[in-house]
Amino acid sequence: MLRFLVVVTLLSALSAAPAYADARGDARQQVEFGIAVAQKGLWREAIFRWLRATELDPTYAQAFNNLAIAYEHEGDLVKAREAYEKALRLDPNNPLIKQNHDLFKEINDRTGRKDGR
């Protein structure tokens, strides 16, 4: 019985690995498509694609980073901040995500100070 459980557990682990790989691959395709449409100025479509990527793979930091950039471009600063923070939680040592987040904070903190005067 124990041997059967070990085999079932191993098979379950092995079958989960390809599913994760497929999810990351599908998410990566969504991210790439989002980049292509964003370059054409289709930001709402890009947001749709990057949201889809985060649904397919909730651990994909770059998808959250791209989503944050799109939200920022569209003026939805609350969602942009949330997406940047999620990207940083997922990949705190990613220099590109850090740079984008720092620039976002710098610009929006400065704007917020002007509005508060």
Q: Could you list the residue range(s) of the whole structural domain that residue 38 is in?
A: 27-115
117 residues of the chain, pLDDT tens digit each: 544 333 333 344 444 445 556 888 999 999 999 999 999 999 999 999 999 999 999 999 999 999 999 999 999 999 999 999 999 999 999 999 999 999 999 998 876 655 444
What global pTM score does this model have?
Answer: 0.77
DSSP 117: -
Instruction: Tell me if 52 is assigned to some domain.
Output: yes
Tell me how far CA of residue 91 lies from CA of 2, 13, 52, 53, in angstroms.
38, 24, 19, 16
What CATH number does residue 58 fall under?
A: 1.25.40.10
Angle, CA of 81, 100 and 31, to the nearest 5°:
85
- The CB density around residue 44, as the number of other CB atoms within 10 Å, is 11
Q: Could you give the number of structural domains in the chain? A: 1
Coil, helix or strand at residue 9? helix
Give the three-state DSSP class for 41.
Answer: coil
Query: Has residue 70 been placed in a domain?
Result: yes
